[in-house]
Amino acid sequence: MIRFDGVTFGYRRKPILEDFSLEIRPGERICLFGPSGRGKTTVLRLLMGLEKPRRGQITGAEGLRFSAVFQEDRLIPGKTVLENVTLFAEESAARSVLERLGLGEVLDSLPGELSGGQRRRAALGRALAHPFDMLVLDEALTGLDEAAVENCLALIDEIARGKTVVMVTHDRAHARALHAAVVEL
């Protein structure tokens, strides 16, 4: 179990989280909700060890394999869609996930040749094709049309079955589709 115990964090003198506590059980799905600036992304960064708390502690994440979609797509411009995903996954898994995300026809395209929705799905494909214990999604479905969102949620649900998922979203329908508990910040 991952535990945030009395975690306080801020940038310079601006507090983001104060005395924050949370428990995440193995295989649990959680969606973080709250207004902008409330600390949702910060919780994800702390969870993955990208930031350290000023006070309090985070335990239980040691040795976990994380796979993440950040708010930005973070695709490498000089590599094709398939190459971006195979940096972190076997080619067969990468091809399968990308095809299921509707990207089979653009595997050899560079990110700059894709639409915003295609880039977003490529970033999600990279996270889903990589072997993981915990999937971390920071507004991963932003900018996708309704049909793409439904397809992505179904694929997340399938691939992450039995694994831990922590997602930041502003759409409660995403939480319902993933059968996720809601945590308000």
- The per-residue pLDDT for range 120-152, each reduced to its tens digit, is 999 999 999 999 999 999 999 999 999 999 999
Where does the pLDDT of residue 46 fall: very low under 50, low under 70, confident under 90, or very high at 90 and above? very high
pLDDT at 110 over 90: yes
d(CA 129, CA 15): 36
Where does the pLDDT of residue 11 fall: very low under 50, low under 70, confident under 90, or very high at 90 and above? confident
Sheet holding 134-138, edge to edge: 66-69, 134-138, 164-168, 29-33, 181-184
The token pair that represents 126 in the structure block: 């990279």
Mean pLDDT confidence for 105-117: 97
- Residue 115's pLDDT is 96
pTM value > 0.85: yes
Mean pLDDT confidence for 75-88: 97
d(CA 27, CA 57): 21
d(CA 151, CA 155): 6
d(CA 166, CA 75): 21
- Nearest by Cα to 2 from 48, 35, 36: 48
d(CA 154, CA 172): 15
Mean pLDDT confidence for 153-160: 98
Where does the pLDDT of residue 26 fall: very low under 50, low under 70, confident under 90, or very high at 90 and above? very high
Is the distance from CB of 41 to CB of 51 less than 8 angstroms? Answer: no
- Residue 37's pLDDT is 87
Q: State the residue for tokens 């809601």.
A: 182
pLDDT at 12 over 90: no
d(CA 180, CA 163): 12
**To the nearest whole number, what is the mean pLDDT of the chain?**
96
d(CA 168, CA 171): 9
Q: Return phi, psi of residue 24, to 5°.
A: -125, 115
Out of 13-17, 39-43, 94-98, least confident range? 13-17
